[in-house]
Amino acid sequence: MTNVNPPALVITAGSIVVDVEDVIDLTVHLGCTKEVSSVTYTLNNTDGKYSPGGSKAILTGVTGGVGLCRKPLNPENVPIISYIVESVEHRVSEAGLTVCVVSGRCWGAKLFNRVFTKKYVNVKAEDVVKEVVEYAGLSHTRDGNELVEATDTTYDVLEFENTPVWDIVKFVAETASKDGVIGFDFRVAPDGKFEFFKRNSKTSSVTLSDIESVEYSKDAERVRNKILVYGAQDKMVPSDGDEWTENNTSGWSSNYTVQTSTFHAAADPVTKDPYLDSKSIQATTGSQTFNSLCEIPQHLHLEKWLTLFYFQFSLRDSRE
């Protein structure tokens, strides 16, 4: 009778190698084109080993990997996913165990987290993919071999403005063609390399045997940590362009002369023409020292958001 060793599990998170006997549950989702791969695993953490301050503390933001091997028949580690730790939770399970739940997405998540702006003219589809993938921080070569396959598509004009890299790659994959067939697939391989290839021309490089049951689900989540809001170009705040510039000395006091001035008044940023009242408040002194005490009117405390003070100095030549 031949003794076949069961697959040995290998999990890393940064410099940490998880003790396989601590693994309670592990779920890996392998995605392609429509979603990215993800991983979630639960560890027995009764002794606090994987908690902050523990001997094998797992931190968010580090990169890791999950692989399988059959020792001693096949000691080589077969990678399943390279991932980024995005969540680490410490809790008590329903069974009363203290556990550490770690989850993250493969390096393809980088495609969601970067936006890209550029206008292309007469550009090959594969060149667009290569540039935006590099911009997102992914490699598309393996051992010197290009992993973004050539297409027969050239775009006359292609323009993107603050567009997620994922959306750009997906657009090219849906519109580019090769040998008269439209459509490409893309994925981040288990070794973290980005691949772009003719649709349905590849299968998963991960081979699992002795499978007794299979459950399939898919999900894709975009992280929005920055929102750009564009205002109308002809919109002015304040609406009259001058409401926030003081033009009345009432309520102002100083140990120097307080008067209205045409300096530093609100002005059109293009024409430089002052708005409306064309005045501001100014306190001046003729001496070389300026130690002014100013009292601000009460209505500024109640109604204005920001008060700007300008200090202007005139230096006299010592040779005069």
Q: In this prediction, what percent of the chain has a pLDDT beyond 70?
A: 62
Q: How many residues does the chain have?
A: 320
pLDDT of 303: 46
Q: Please tell me whether residue 130 adopts helix, strand or coil conformation.
A: helix
List pLDDT tens digits, range 237-282. 666 665 666 666 777 767 667 777 766 666 666 666 666 656 676 7
Least confident of 41-45, 171-175, 252-256, 272-276: 272-276
pLDDT digits (tens, 9 = 90+) for 179-221: 988 999 998 888 889 999 998 777 665 555 555 555 655 555 5
319 pLDDT more than 50: no
Residue 193 vs residue 295, higher pLDDT: 193
Q: Please state the φ and ψ torsions of residue 168, each to the nearest 5 degrees.
A: -70, -50
CB 84 within 8 A of CB 63: yes
Q: How confident is the model at residue 315 (pLDDT cuts 50, 70, 90)?
A: very low
Q: Determine the average pLDDT of the residues in 131-139.
A: 94
In which band, very low, low, confident or very high, does the pLDDT at 94 lie, cut at 50, 70 and 90? confident
CA distance 51 to 59: 9
Q: What is the DSSP letter of 267?
A: B
Closest CA relative to residue 198, chosen from 213, 216, 180: 180
Report the pLDDT averaged over residues 1-23: 80
Q: What domains does the chain contain, in order, with CATH numbers? A: 8-107 (2.30.300.10), 114-198 (3.55.50.10), 253-303 (no CATH)
The pLDDT assigned to 129 comes to 96
Q: Out of 41-45, 116-120, 300-304, which region has the weakest mean confidence (pLDDT)?
A: 300-304
